[in-house]
Structure 1
Amino acid sequence: MNHMLLTVRQDANLTDNLVGVNAMEVLINALIKSGAQRSSLRAKAFGGARMVDGLSDIGEANAQFTLDFLESEGITCDGHSFGGTNARNIRFWPATGRVLQRMSTDRLIEPKTIVQAPPEGNDLELF
């Protein structure tokens, strides 16, 4: 049996989903090139935490993308852990499919607003 581990990025949009599909196909093709049988691929997926308070929940969209992709490709997802507000530390043994997950106890990162004073000078703007 061949196992793969999926992690979910924090910043998905339509373009990223297209990039995600391409990345997944590259991964699957590399597994097959290394001797894996596509029909025996299985996955476990992790990620999608909302790491920065006040931003949209992109991780949720990424998690859904992951599950939809696996289903559409006929790859069984043996387990997943998505969402929350803490990072995950993952340890993965591909030969057995065993995964250890440890949730970080770090706090959310508060977004910071940086206010810059207008530059002093002759009002010349370069762009």
Structure 2
Amino acid sequence: MASANSPASTHLTVLQGQFRVSAGPKVELSTVLGSCVATCLYDPVIELGGMNHFLLSEPPATHARGEVDVHYGVYLMEMLINEMLAYGARKERLRAHLYGGANIRAGMQRIGTANAEFARGFLVRERIELMREDLGGTCARRVDFRPASGLVRCRTVAEAPEVAVQPVVRREPRGEVELF
């Protein structure tokens, strides 16, 4: 709870295909993830951070060359880093946290695993230090990130119970319907 002398925190939601950057000491970036991955980057020297939220790692080979689709990690990672650099961050000082990459439904394609592997590999290739990760599993996560301090809170959302599909009950028509 904010005191009478301090302004309340600003909560910004980062949706699929988005990224946000801030140095505001009262700003908190939040997202909810299933198979998606969120990267939280932080430059401790200038107290600037940002978060992205990507749906898939890379576009398929059939994707048109040169076409930017922000739902892919390959674009959102670059966009987040470039935006931070534009505000004075230095790449060699960046620190990363990775979250998400769950495989929510058994028997489905392992998109979460592919996203997590992409994100880890990207950080290695770009020589960005990975400080913490909470990736994989079968549960969704809620992530709250304070970009100015680099602090992150990640909470696991309990697995949703399987919902049995109910048969559609068709009733006998009663009366007449006149269309006009």
Counterpart among 35, 40, 49 of residue 102 in structure 2: 49
Q: Decide whether the 8 Å contact of 1:7 with 1:47 is kept in 2.
A: no
Note the C-alpha offset of 1:86.
0.9
With the length of structure 1 as denominator, give the TM-score of the two structures: 0.73
Aligned to 2:117: 64
Structure 1 unaligned regions, length at least 5: 113-127
CA distance in 1, matches of 2:164, 2:108: 9
Which residue does the alignment assign to 2:139? Answer: 86
Q: Aligned Cα RMSD in Å?
A: 2.6
Q: Deviations over 1:28-56 (max 9, x none)?
A: 11001111111111100000111223202
Unpaired segments of 5 or more residues in structure 2?
1-43, 62-67, 166-180
Larger radius of gyration: 2
Q: Kindly, what percent of the aligned residue pairs are identical?
A: 34
Which structure shows the bigger proportion of residues in helix conformation?
Answer: 1
Secondary structure, counterpart of 1:30 in structure 2: helix
User: Deviation digits for residues 78-119 of structure 1, max 9, x if unmatched?
Assistant: 01011111110111111221111111114266697xxxxxxx
Q: Which runs of 4+ in 1 moved over 2 A?
A: 2-9, 11-16, 108-112
Residues 42 and 70 of structure 1, relative CA distance in 2, 3 Å threshold = same
- Give 1 or 2: higher strand fraction: 2
Superposed, 1:1-127 pairs within 5 Å as 1=44, 2-5=48-51, 7=53, 9=55, 11-12=56-57, 14-15=59-60, 19-107=72-160
In the alignment, which residue of structure 1 is the partner of 2:29?
none
Tell me, in whole angstroms, the C-alpha distance in 2 between the residues paired with 1:45 and 1:84.
Answer: 14
8 Å contact from structure 1 (residues 7, 45) kept in 2: no
- The TM-score normalised by the length of structure 2 is 0.53
